[in-house]
Amino acid sequence: MEAVIKSVRIAGMHAVVPPHRHSYVETPGLFTQEEADKVFASTGIHSRRILPKHLCASDMCVAAAERLLSNLGWSADSIGVLIFVSQDQDYSLPASACLMQARLGLPQSAACLDVSLGCSGFIYGTWIASQLLQGASGKRALVLCADTSSRHLLPDDRGTLPLFGDAGVATALEFDPDWPDSYVIVGTDGTGGQHIAVKAGGRRNPCMPEKAPFDDDTNARLYRDTRLYLNGAAVFSFTLKVVPKLVKDALGLAGLEAGALDMVVMHQANQFILEHLRKKTGIPEDKYLIDMKDFGNTSSASVPLAICHSLSDFFAERKKLLLGGFGVGWSWGALIADVQMDAPPMLTEITDDFPPLTLEQ
């Protein structure tokens, strides 16, 4: 699907990560030093941030949103839309976005909803929020992206443990009738859904016993199936098939050549994949951001996290960006937009004593 976003701009971003670092290099018995060096050379990931168990993805987003509103000088009652993009919602119900509305003090007239997407989620969330601002009474939106992917990993899975970390990012959007058009392309191929999956925990394969407790064999199966399954070869094949065309199509929709872009920020999957994509798309190294060494793959948060970490001084003047996400689903999306933020994008850490978002507020 192609879309043109009219009169909506990105006004600011703020990222939040946990203070706790975990490096597979330092995990006893997981890799030899030689093996760890090879993993780093391939993935570009040295360590990840791990959120304490008493906090959730939503808490990182609340912390990020509070800081972002303060940085921009926006009042909470000026927000008309809140989109929470995550595959790690707090509860089966209610939607985490509803609890965030209360915690952040947004007006009851605000439209607040959860979107369960991963690697493409920032693009989808930005597009959805922008469409909701067009032709509606609300003039400002928050797109909150976070995942706690580390909680889906088996502690001895050498294929996934080095890759995934936790982070949350808040992005502020504002209706501006004078802002240039932005361009979006999104797509889906559900036949690839089995290649990045957590098979248990939903209604199809529940973890809640109906009557008697589960037997030992079922508990062992659920322990495995509530963890992430990742088919790396299939992910690589899908990425090289879909993403170069996505970049080409997005540039065509915007009527641009690649040289007109000031920066390209793709989903930070791993360095090996991103380098192949850069070469396939012909983007120069100095206009192509790779930034995951200290954070890993943070799913829906990875694109804005990279911006907040590496491009804090980039937006004093208007820049033209191509932002892209791809992965679990299969799902993909690209956004080409002019960006000039009212406050520099920033990165801070959430404290262990941050008050968690709960039903009892």
Is 17's pLDDT higher than 90?
yes
- Is residue 65 within 8 A of residue 348, CB to CB? The reply is no
Domain boundaries, the chain: 2-190+229-349
pLDDT of 139:
96
Question: 354 CB contacts (<8 Å, ≥6 apart)?
Answer: 55, 59, 63
Is 184's pLDDT higher than 90?
yes
Residues of the chain with pLDDT > 70, as a percent, come to 100
Question: 135 CB contacts (<8 Å, ≥6 apart)?
Answer: none
Q: How far apart are CA 304 and CA 136, in angstroms?
A: 26
Q: How far apart are CA 309 and CA 313, in angstroms?
A: 10
Residue range 24-39: mean pLDDT, rounded? 87
| Coil/strand/helix, residue 84 | strand
The H-assigned helical ranges of 85-191 are 96-104, 121-133
- Is residue 124 within 8 A of residue 273, CB to CB? The reply is no
- Hey, CA dihedral for 93, 147, 358, 55, is it positive or negative? positive
- Long-range contacts at 28-36 (CB < 8 A, ≥ 24 apart): 30/156, 30/158, 30/161, 31/158
The model's pTM is 0.96
Superfamily of domain 2-190+229-349: Thiolase/Chalcone synthase (3.40.47.10)
Vertex 330: Cα angle to 266 and 319 (nearest 5): 20
- Hey, CA dihedral for 121, 127, 128, 130, is it positive or negative? positive
pLDDT of 97:
98
Vertex 117: Cα angle to 111 and 122 (nearest 5): 70
Q: How far apart are CA 99 and CA 120, in angstroms?
A: 24
- Which of 288, 278, 191, 273 is CA-nearest to residue 237? 273
CA dihedral in degrees (30, 35, 41, 43; nearest 10)?
A: -30
CA dihedral in degrees (134, 344, 271, 283; nearest 10)?
A: 70
Q: How far apart are CA 140 and CA 176, in angstroms?
A: 10
Q: Greater confidence, 157 or 141?
A: 141
Q: How far apart are CA 173 and CA 308, in angstroms?
A: 16
What's the pLDDT tens digit per position in 73-132?
Answer: 999 999 999 999 999 999 999 999 999 999 999 999 999 999 999 999 999 999 999 999
What's the pLDDT tens digit per position in 296-324?
Answer: 999 999 999 999 999 999 998 999 999 99
Model confidence band, residue 203 (pLDDT cutoffs 50, 70, 90): confident
Residue range 254-263: mean pLDDT, rounded? 97
Query: In terms of C-beta density within 10 A (0-12 exposed, 13-18 middle, 19 or more buried), how is residue 113 classed?
Result: middle
pLDDT of 200:
87
Q: How far is CA 351 from CA 3, 16, 51, 225, 354, in A?
A: 39, 10, 10, 31, 5
The pLDDT mean for the chain works out to 95
Q: For the residues of 171-197, what is the DSSP string, one character each? A: EEEEE-TTSPPEEEEEEE-GGGGGGEE
Q: Count Cα atoms within 13 angstroms, Cβ side, for 320.
A: 16
pLDDT of 361:
63
Query: In terms of C-beta density within 10 A (0-12 exposed, 13-18 middle, 19 or more buried), how is residue 317 classed?
Result: exposed
